Structure 1
Amino acid sequence: MKELFAKRLKSARILAAISQDELVARIEGMVSKNAISKYERGEMMPNGKVLIVLAKALGVKPDYFFREFNVEIEQIEFRKKSKLGVKRVNAIREKVVDIVERYLELEQFLSIKSEFRNPIAHLVIKNQDDIENAVNLLLKKWKLGLNALPNVIELLEDKEIKVIEIDAPEAFDGFSGWADRKFPVIVLNQNFSIERKRLTALHELGHLLLNFSDQLEHKEVERKCFQFAAAMLIPEETFKIELGGKRTHISLPELVSIKETYGISIQAIMARAKDLGVISEHLFINFRKWISRNKTEAGLGSYIGKENSNRFKQLLYRAASEEVISLSKAANLSNQKLAAFRKEFVAI
């Protein structure tokens, strides 16, 4: 019991992105930093009163400290800007672990056995041609065709990938990894534009699926994942139908139209055009200079569609309506108060 509590307390503190000193301040010195350290080392346990105060200070329910179900997320590919900071990075990781734990626990209640298979694992990625071949094979294996992907997140969830959206600072892009070495996980910043979400989700899919040559450095692997994401959104054959084989100039209305149809940013379209040899390096550099004044592409069209992760909630409502779990347990799994869950849940 002490070991479980110790691990959970430290996890909750990291999730809150605070130090032991800051936790002591939040609980107004009810116990000392030395006591907190002993709790986290599993050397002693708090009494009931302290436990409740700790839970409130850390924003978790008291039973969080004794929840035995646990997962490990490994092989993490974490993309962030340096200004995010170590505390925020660790907090995001702990938040994702907590969500994945509840996700997998819910699937266990519903007797859902996720079995993910990578249909392109045998391909070794060295260059741009390898990326195009991998995308074409994946589209064929997943029976997606060459048209625009209407909902990337829904597609990934249908393929047994856990997609999690979190409220994070702009400095956080996303990450991917494996829970318990067999459940693929993709994490997205819910505050991004829809085009950025789609590209980021598929970039992280690249990290999960692509078997990169050992000769590629990390920076080149990242670049190949972006190329993979853009190719998934608009495959080479489709791209050249839209823009032609060679261009010396491209009009802005053309780019906006493709953006609105395929859900890919104008910047990613132009990068893809350069990678496929449709435009010259010189034209691409001139475009980069022009777009640098409007990186968010404000006023340059937007994809009309939805990109939200809904599978966890759908499974939760199913489990509650079928009385596989109680409303109280459903609220606990969704990290809500019972009254709030009752308000949004209506069984027919």
Structure 2
Amino acid sequence: MENIVGYRIKSARKLKGLSLQNVADELGVSKQMVSKYENGVSIPPSSKLLSLSKLFDQKVDYFFRSFKIELGEVNFRKKSSFSAKKENSLKEQIKIKLENYLWIESVLGIDSSFNNIISNKTINSILDIEAVVLSLRNSWSIGVDPIYNIIQLLEDKEIKIIEIYDADDKFDGLATYIDNKYPVIVVNGNFPVERKRFTLLHELGHLLLQIPRCELAEEEKFCHRFASEFLLPRKMLINEFGGKRKHISFTELVSIQKKYGISIPAIIYRLVELGVLPKEYHKQFYKKINFNPSLKKTIYHSRFQTPEKSFRFKQLVYRALAQEDISMSKASSLLNKSIESIKENYALI
């Protein structure tokens, strides 16, 4: 029991980005005593656990949860300025959310095993991405049609989606495996919907693609191409825009943005990438919008109409509650909501 409590205290401390001394000052004990708590040498009395609960903004039962997971490799590759303390905080936040997710699935007897159906697809160059994406879309029975809700699609395919709302724009997203078995994608929930969709699919590329050994920058290009191809397949782009063009109208771009849920800059990039627009068009486009703030604001306006929210975990908690597999108090703890709030949203039909 002491090891579990210590593990939870250390995890919650990292989540909050606090030092041992910070916690010691709040509890009115020495830094050495907090270290003993974390290492399982000593267990805090109930009064200190209550203080820790308030400090870490966690329910008291959090400190006694025995269900633990191991994250796979987590690479915060997006922004070099992302601090180590913030990385550790996000890792702990992700672990807590995923532990709750997998625990509720185990309570409900749900087998969320995942099969990467393109694991046998060899990729020798970035040009191979198109065929791989088409194979995946066909296997998932979505052809080349626009996708209304990326999160729902991925969750239906047993990929865990975690949205983080207290991260700034230095964090885009990440992908990893839990216990070398369960795939998970974490995304910044504050993003405009088009950016969120692209990030989700970019991270899906990191999860599924068998990319040849290369530099990180090159790997990012593979995943960027994967996301672009998945959102707006070559066939549909050619159908929508025709052959080679010298110019594109704003009305055309807005129409495609609304239909496929991909940002206008990403559409421009895709058009240049596939040779519909000349190579110099991309630079001209950014030069034009960077010198015109009003146009830039209009270009980056979000227009795709979809919730792109993850509701599955919440749904599973209420399912377990309705089946009397968990108590109202446990549901409150899992969702980090008050019991009154849970009662308001809970009604048996």
Classify the TM-score, shorter chain.
Answer: over 0.9
Q: 1:184 to 1:296 in 2, by over 3 A?
A: farther
Shift of 1:298: 5.4
Answer yes or no: is 1:17 the counterpart of 2:17: yes
Shift of 1:301: 5.6
Q: Distance in 1 between matches of 2:344 and 2:330?
A: 15
Q: CA RMSD in A?
A: 1.6
**Aligned equivalent of 1:209:** 208
Q: Distance in 2 between matches of 1:299 and 1:191?
A: 15
**Aligned equivalent of 1:55:** 53
Structure 1 stretches lacking a partner, 5+ long: none
Could you give the per-residue CA deviations for residues 255-300 of structure 1, whole angstroms, max 9, x where no partner exists? Answer: 1111111100011111111221212221111112223346665575
Could you give the per-residue CA deviations for residues 204-246 of structure 1, whole angstroms, max 9, x where no partner exists? Answer: 11011100011x2110111111111111111010011111221
- Does the CA-based 8 Å contact 1:79-1:172 persist in structure 2? no
**Aligned equivalent of 2:317:** 316
Q: Distance in 2 between matches of 1:206 and 1:333?
A: 30
Q: 1:75 to 1:299 in 2, by over 3 A?
A: closer
Q: Distance in 1 between matches of 2:282 and 2:177?
A: 36
Q: 1:125 to 1:75 in 2, by over 3 A?
A: farther
Residues 260-339 of structure 1: pairs in structure 2 closer than 5 A: 260-292=258-290, 293=293, 297=298, 300=301, 302-339=303-340
Q: Distance in 1 between matches of 2:98 and 2:347?
A: 25
**Aligned equivalent of 1:235:** 233
Shift of 1:170: 1.6
Q: Distance in 1 between matches of 2:41 and 2:263?
A: 53
Which structure's residues are more often strand, by fraction?
1
Q: Distance in 1 between matches of 2:114 and 2:322?
A: 27
TM-score under structure 1 normalisation? 0.95
- Does the CA-based 8 Å contact 1:274-1:284 persist in structure 2? yes
Answer yes or no: is 1:126 the counterpart of 2:124: yes
What is the letter of the counterpart of residue 228 of structure 2? A
Aligned length: 345
2:246 corresponds, among 233, 244, 248, to 248
**Aligned equivalent of 1:344:** 345
Q: Distance in 2 between matches of 1:78 and 1:141?
A: 30
Q: 1:3 to 1:150 in 2, by over 3 A?
A: same
Could you give the per-residue CA deviations for residues 148-186 of structure 1, whole angstroms, max 9, x where no partner exists? Answer: 101000000000000011112121101111011111001
User: Any idea what SS the aligned residue of 2:74 has?
Assistant: strand
Q: Distance in 2 between matches of 1:264 and 1:91?
A: 30
Shift of 1:131: 0.7
Structure 2 stretches lacking a partner, 5+ long: none
Q: Distance in 2 between matches of 1:86 and 1:233?
A: 33
Residues 97-246 of structure 1: pairs in structure 2 closer than 5 A: 97-167=95-165, 168-214=167-213, 216-246=214-244
**Aligned equivalent of 1:6:** 6
What is the letter of the counterpart of residue 25 of structure 2? A
